[in-house]
Amino acid sequence: MDPLTALLAVLLLLALVYWYGTKDFGSLEKLGVPVIKPYPFIGSILKPWESFCVSDDLQNARKYGRLWGLYEGPWAQLFVADVDMAKHIMIKDFDHFQDRPVLFDFEYGRDQMDMMPADRWKVLRSLLAPALTTSGRLKAMTPTMQQCLDDACRRMEAKLRDSPVIDAQADLFGPLTLDVMAQFSFGMKVPDVADKNSVFVKHASAFGVPTDATPNPLITYILTSFPSLGNRVAGRQLIPAFRYFLEMIRRSIKQRRAEGVHRPDLVGVIMDAIDNKVPTAEYRQLRLTEEILLLQGAEMLMAAYDTVGSALNKSAYFLATEPEAAEEVAQEAQELDELTYESVAQLPKLEAFIKEVLRMAPLLVRHFRVCTRDWEYQGLRVPAGTSVTIPMSVFHMDEQLFPEARQFRPARWLEEDAHRSHQYSWMPFGLGPHACLGARLAMVECKFFLAGFLRRYRFLACDQTKFEYLPGSGLFATTKPIMVKVEKL
């Protein structure tokens, strides 16, 4: 190749690379909203490894108002921090925003229900909803939750013999969440949920939020600038875990068929669908195969491991650091004659406590939607294909919506009009038809387990009790374990 041709080839390559790194720039500016200045490849966030999504969203809302745009690498996002507009997007005008962006574009990742286009996820959601939302199915889980609670208490008391201070996630809530969700998602008891070296725990941990490493600036830049590469890296970590859990569900189903056992749990729903739904023309047309149905069981574990575990972990922090509120919910739980599905439902102070935890420190702090049909709202025209981000922390920390928003005040949820006042501004599980399908199950688990622990133990603060957020992540996670002192009653 002669020098001139080589030079032209290099220039063409550089032009193509530059085009890739800037190809969506300008799309947000056309909407007429304030846009945070982007830079090629990097986007609008200059130091993503230092960025904390909650403080970023609050700062941007103060600076730009209720609407702004930014580029995360090449990804253009319209931020909507207006309650009424968010309500239209997620509920009233949902037919214009039926999809979510595909955040996990790799094998198994793209076939999770929440990543699917509307025609596919709606069918799966209607199939799985009864196992996750009906009172009868949730009540049937009570014996399993009680067994998992008792096992967790035995593990914790063994820890307490060595030290009164525990790592709330690693020593208590992580294994507990894995235990109950393994039985719910896979229909089997896993004996080694507390063994960090077990194959099961190692694969489950792949779904967790890494908190023991400082984000590398160069790697963060590369993965932000080239999402396809980021998906490949995520796939290398998660695909083996998905395959492991798919095989677990297959073994569970095979064993049930051999023993002639059928239970009304998630595995039972999947078994019925494999027999009666997969062969139908509708499922074949939508490419809803046996493997995709099995995959949803693995997704339930992935979704619950961090979300439920995080809620319980942060609850331990607030129980330890807010003694007055902790005393009220402990007294309420201790007055129960016994721990049952019905009795736990009658704990308004505990429910208020959990809601306040999820208001102040939800794991997921942004909801994502994709505009699937051109939409107009009060003069704002949003074309199909636009990614919309709803930063819930802006609502959760709004003094107009939640007076004394920076104060941990569970009593706000006991006020007479609390539900009506906050039904569209409190959204840790999302809103509307695309809200978290496991929200009711998550609340039942949190109430049951916290009530069970508060009937036996007291959580106290110590010198090691700290809450430090994890930078460089789109989640409200902690960078160090939450350590609390535990006293047996």
- 397 with 406: CB under 8 angstroms? yes
**Cβ atoms 71, 77 nearer than 8 A:** yes
Q: Which pLDDT does position 7 carry in this prediction?
A: 72
What is the homologous superfamily of the domain 3-488 according to CATH? Answer: Cytochrome P450 (1.10.630.10)
Span 353-377, average pLDDT: 95
Q: Which residue has the tokens 């013999």?
A: 161
Return the pLDDT at 186: 79
Residue 239 tokens, joined: 């695909």
**pLDDT computed for residue 215 by the predictor:** 53
| 168-172, 237-241, 367-371: least confident range | 237-241
- Of 289, 284, 236, 218, nearest to 109 by C-alpha is 236
**Helix axis angle, 142-160 to 174-186, nearest 10°:** 150
Nearest alpha-carbon partner for 153 in 307, 341, 339: 339
Placement of tokens 């896979």 in the chain: 186
Contact status, residue 211 vs residue 477, Cβ threshold 8 Å: yes
State residue 455's pLDDT score. Answer: 97
Cα–Cα distance list, 278 to 121, 124, 270, 282 (Å): 15, 11, 10, 8
- Cite the annotated binding site for heme by residue number: 436
Tell me which range, 209-213, 224-228, 422-426, is most confidently predicted by mean pLDDT.
Answer: 422-426
CB-based contact 411:425 (threshold 8 Å): no
pLDDT digits (tens, 9 = 90+) for 55-67: 999 999 999 999 9
Residue in the structure block whose two tokens are 């909203």: 33
269-278, 362-371, 417-426, 444-453: segment of lowest average pLDDT: 417-426
Residue 209 DSSP class: P
**What is the mean pLDDT of the segment spanning 14-26?**
77
483: helix, strand or coil: strand
Q: What is the pTM of this model?
A: 0.92
Task: Dump pLDDT digits (tens) for 165-182.
Answer: 999 999 999 999 999 988
Residue 486: strand pairing partners: 459
What does pLDDT average to over the chain? 89
5-16 mean pLDDT: 76
Q: What gap in Å lies between CA 189 and CA 54, rounded to an integer?
A: 37
Decide if pLDDT at 217 tops 60: no
Binning pLDDT at 50, 70 and 90, where does residue 103 land?
confident
- Confidence label for 445 from pLDDT (cuts 50, 70 and 90): very high
DSSP codes of every residue in 215-264 = PPHHHHHHHHH-HHHHHHHHHHHHHHHHHHHHHHHHHHHHHHHHHT---S
What pLDDT score was predicted for residue 301? Answer: 79
Q: How far apart are the C-alpha atoms of 260 and 400, rounded to whole Å?
A: 57
Q: Where are the domains of the chain?
A: 3-488
Which residues does the annotation place in the binding site? 436
pLDDT at position 61 is: 97
102 has pLDDT over 80: yes
